[in-house]
Amino acid sequence: MITTNLGYPRIGPDRELKKLVEGFWRGKVGRDELLAGGKALRLAGWKRQQQAGIDLIPSNDFSHYDQVLDHIAMFGAIPERYGWAGGAVDLDTYFAMARGTQAATAMEMTKWFNTNYHYISAELDGSFSLTENRPLTAWQEAKDELGLATKPVLIGPLTFLKLANNPRGLAYEGLLADLLPLYAQVLRELAAAGVEWVQMDEPVAVMDLTAEELSLLTASYRSLAEEDTPKLMVQTYFDDPAGNGETLMNLPVAGIGLDLVRGAESLATLEAHGIPQDKVLGIGLIDGRNVWRTDLDEALSTLERIGRRVNLDQAHLGPSCSLLHLPVTTDLEQALDPSIREWMAYADERLDEIALLRRAHDEGAEAVAHDLAENRAVIDRRRRDPRLSNPAVAERLGALSESDYARDTPDQERLARQKERLDLPLLPTTTIGSFPQTAEVRAARARYRSGELSAEDYRSYLDDKFREVIALQENLGLDVLVHGEFERSDMVDFFAQRLDGVAFIEGWVQSYGTRCVRPPLIYGDVSRPEPMTVEVSARVQKMTDKPLKGMLTGPVTILMWSFPRNDIAPQRIADQLALAIRDEVRDLEAAGIPVIQIDEPAFREGLPLQRADRPAYEEWATRSFRLSSSGVAADTQIHTHMCYSEFNELMPAIYALGADVISIENSRSASELLEAFRDFDYDRGIGPGVYDVHSERVPAAEEIADLLRRASKVLDVERLWVNPDCGLKTRGPAETEAALRNLVTAARQVRAELAG
Ligand code: GLN
Ligand code: ZN
């Protein structure tokens, strides 16, 4: 068997890439230093994969920001507003597209399928040109530096187009006619350089495609098959190809890669139909999305089952998807209980598992008997560990009834009671929770964690910050205030650290650009030993007469942004989390907090990629949210927040959450979104984001007022809220203040217009 990898984490074990890129943005790191640092990371990753015994090591999987943006740059799909003059795209233009500048808004960022990775969406205007053969440059680098022949990775043409924004609704057929010759050129040049395999990522092939899209997929590869290209492995991941299987398996390419971890039906399909004789199978057997060590006995028996229909000797054995979604190595987890650490595998350990399975297959299980025995023992220890179950949690879940999942007052009556209690103006203004997390705030938190700052001093430091941010919000004239979340490093991590059954990890995963997260590890039944946010919120509410919004993270988001246990169903984990949040919501209410926001920014990414699987997800996810939020009185206002803008299909589920107010992203995507809410007759509060927090650009008051005027034409003004489209934690203090000042000015202006 041949061992393969589909992508290696690019940020470095300790977020080295983040430090370089952000240093470059601040002018502290020069261009050469940035490029050299990136190169060092690539070389280290390649060497590690070589040592592990991976035959097909990916290249062009590295990126300074995002691999989709790299393709946008490579194919010259650069929107006019960046003033690009042609030729290879320089770093400044590249980062301007990602982040925006004072003169040009950033390109839209979207979640990568159902992961917590975000990519930059291309804006199709029909013109493409090849600016640079990036895969060739990457391949050549590995060749020159290490004598290593890698496997370049490209995003396939259909996936590239399907992930793009297509505001003018250009037909794929015409776009492909322009794009395919560029792919062909890239591939011809790779072949000429001596590249053997190229991985063409086509994850859209696991989604519901139309007959037309399927025929375009075939036509695309048929046209590439006429060229002199390397062998193409069309790689799918994140699900099984379901109804697209037939087309996928018959593409005129050398290999087809399937995800056997998330693709529930992949194995059955392979057992039933094998794979066409002329093709090599890419076996995505090792979980690239979660961190539990593979049960190698089980993996070997899966291989054996596949082997009855497929020639495994030529097959490529690898992870289920790129290892981008895992931290680099569990060696980082020195602070984690070793009896839990031994259950885990990150990217590097995944490579070892792949190499081990290959040996077991090629040389027989006896050759690796020792490793298999060790694996068996670990799997067994985990299975029997008493920390996995908490009978009290099971009992509470068993005792729930329907009334625990719904507020006991009808919607409109509830909203009226809240209006009376909160006494807010038309177009109330608020923020999404966090305020800038300056280096100073982070340093104080680090000093507290290391014991350098006493609990008392840390508390008084935080109180100063809270007082400062309350004063700022009062001064700006915001209506519903927040405490700024200075005590939190991360919205999921903060809760994870306070819940039983969840462990904190040191490893980092890229979320978007230079933003990295540490997903908590949910290893056992979840429960809340004591209140998590109540003390702080109560303290801060005392600092102001304005209503304070308590800030919580919802059960679905905690689940989605964690590495969840894989021994019980996800909905069961979500319900356990929901109970913990429910207790917190009630305690906040009891402490006098009138508004509570339960953030669910990950609600949509949990959505299964195939439509047929969605109703079941929507059902359990909305129920979990309702369980978390329904335990309060009618005049306590529940907000939720989701920072994306594709709601159309999700609208019934979003409505079913029952939140009194929802804030959403809107500033990059204008009015389509609002139309979805109008068409749905959404009759509760809604705050379309009017300030794009992913860009350092400060929107002018007039610009925000315009957005509000447009929103007020589409939606009932009585329901409209005014807020940024997400938390402000990554923004600088000065730009935040300026933007919020403009936001309040705009709200007042439009309020006056509406009144007059
Ligand atoms: N309350 C969080 C914040 O403001 C929400 C962040 C998010 O939606 N990603 O930071
Ligand atoms: Zn958000």
Tens of pLDDT, residues 376-422? 999 999 999 999 999 999 999 999 999 999 999 999 999 999 999 99
Give 100-143 as a DSSP string.
--SSSPPPPEEE-TTSS-EEEPPB--S-------HHHHHHHHHH
Question: Mutate which of 109, 469, 491 to test ligand 1's pocket (most atoms within 8 Å of Cβ)?
Answer: 491
At residue 588, the pLDDT reads 98
37 contact partners, CB below 8 Å, separation of at least 6: 16, 17, 20, 29
Residue 470: which of 548, 533, 536 has the closest Cα?
548
| Other C-beta atoms lying within 10 Å of the C-beta of residue 323 | 28
What tokens does 133 get?
């053969």
pLDDT at residue 8, as a whole number: 98
- CA 259 → CA 105, 264, 312, distances in Å? 36, 9, 16
Protein residue with its CA nearest to atom 10 in ligand 1? 727
pLDDT more than 90, % of the chain:
93
Segment 435-461 mean pLDDT: 96
The closest-lying atom of ligand 1 relative to the alpha carbon of residue 433 is: 4
522-555 tens-digit pLDDT: 999 999 999 999 999 999 999 999 999 999 999 9
Distance 556 CA to ligand 1 centre (A): 14
Pinpoint the alpha helices (H) of 311-410: 338-341, 347-363, 369-384, 391-398
With 70 as the cut, is the pLDDT of residue 593 above it? yes
Would you say residue 670 has pLDDT above 70?
no
Residues 6+ apart with CB under 8 A from 144: none
641 lines ligand 1 (CB under 6 A): yes
* C-alpha 686 to ligand 2 mean position (Å): 14
Q: What is the pLDDT of residue 640?
A: 98
668 confidence band (pLDDT: 50, 70, 90): low
Q: Which of 64, 71, 639, 694 is catalytic?
A: 694
Q: Residue range 171-181: average pLDDT?
A: 97
| Angle (nearest 5°) at CA 186 between 181 and 188 | 90
Decide if 318 contacts 6 (C-beta within 8 A): yes
Q: Which of 586, 583, 595, 557 is nearest to 432 (CA)?
A: 595
Distance separating alpha carbons of residues 255 and 232, to the nearest angstrom: 6
Ligand 1 proximity of 726 Cβ (cutoff 6 Å):
yes
pTM value > 0.85 = yes
What pLDDT is recorded for position 156? 98
Compute and round to an integer the Cα radius of gyration of the chain: 26
* Minimal-distance CA residue to ligand 1 atom 4: 727
| pLDDT digits 0-9 by tens, 244-262 | 999 999 999 999 999 999 9
As a whole number, the mean pLDDT across the chain is 96
Confidence of residue 676 (pLDDT cuts 50, 70, 90): confident
Closest CA to 681 of 716, 707, 711: 716
What percent of the chain has a predicted confidence (pLDDT) above 70? Answer: 99
How far is CA 25 from each of CA 64, 94, 417, 521, rounded to the nearest angstrom? 12, 12, 48, 32
Residue 247: its H or E element? helix 245-249
Atom number in ligand 1 closest to CA 488? 10
The alpha carbon dihedral of 451, 452, 455, 459 has a sign of: negative
User: Quick one: pLDDT at residue 649?
Assistant: 83
**Is the Cα dihedral 519, 524, 526, 532 positive or negative?**
negative
Alpha-carbon span 298 to 334, nearest angstrom: 28
Spacing, Cα 425 to ligand 2 middle (Å) = 24
Is 156 touching ligand 1 by the criterion CB < 6 Å?
no
Q: Which residue has the tokens 């625990």?
A: 404
Distance (angstroms) between ligand 2 centre and the Cα of 484 equals 14
Tell whether ligand 1 has an atom less than 6 A from the beta carbon of residue 242: no
98 membership: H or E segment, kind and range: helix 91-99
Yes or no: say if 435 and 485 are a contact pair by the CB < 8 Å rule.
yes
pLDDT confidence of residue 246: 94
Pocket test of ligand 1: the residue of 432, 694, 740 to mutate, having most ligand atoms within 8 Å of its CB, is 432
Alpha helix ranges (H) inside 545-597 = 555-560, 570-590
Question: Ligand 1 mean position to 291 CA, how many Å?
Answer: 25
- H/E element holding 40? helix 31-52
For ligand 1, atom 1, the nearest C-alpha belongs to 433
The two tokens of residue 274 are: 């094998």
Q: Which residue has the tokens 């809220």?
A: 721
Can you tell me the mean pLDDT for 503-517? 95
Give, in order, the Cα–Cα distances in Å from 692 to each of 126, 164, 605, 737: 27, 20, 20, 14
Q: Tens digit of pLDDT for each residue in 45-56?
A: 999 999 999 999
Q: Report CA(729)–ligand 1 centroid distance (Å).
A: 8
Q: Which ligand is nearest to the CA of 482?
A: 1
- Helix H or strand E encompassing 37: helix 31-52
Looking at residue 562, its pLDDT comes to: 97
Contact partners, residue 364, CB within 8 Å, separation at least 6: none
**Whose C-alpha lies nearest to ligand 1, atom 9?**
601
What integer pLDDT is reported at residue 644 of this predicted model? 73
Whether ligand 1 lies within 6 angstroms of the CB of 492 is answered as: no
Q: What angle do CA 555, 416, 477 make, to 5 degrees?
A: 80
Judging by beta carbons within 10 Å of its beta carbon (0-12, 13-18, 19+), is residue 367 exposed, middle or buried? middle
Nearest bound ligand to the CA of residue 664: 2
Ligand 1 close to Cβ of residue 517 (< 6 A): no
Alpha carbons 430 and 664: distance in angstroms, whole number: 13
Going from the Cα of 24 to the center of ligand 1, the distance in angstroms, rounded, reads 26
Give 168's contacts (C-beta < 8 A, 6+ positions apart): 124, 125, 126
Per-residue model confidence (pLDDT) at position 634: 98
Contact in structure between 199 and 233 (CB atoms under 8 Å): yes
Structure tokens, 561: 């942004």
Integer CA distances (angstroms), 611 to 555, 608, 616, 618, 734, in order: 23, 7, 10, 11, 44
Residue 71 catalytic? no
- Confidence band of 695 (pLDDT split at 50, 70, 90): confident
Ligand 1 closest atom vs CA 729: 10
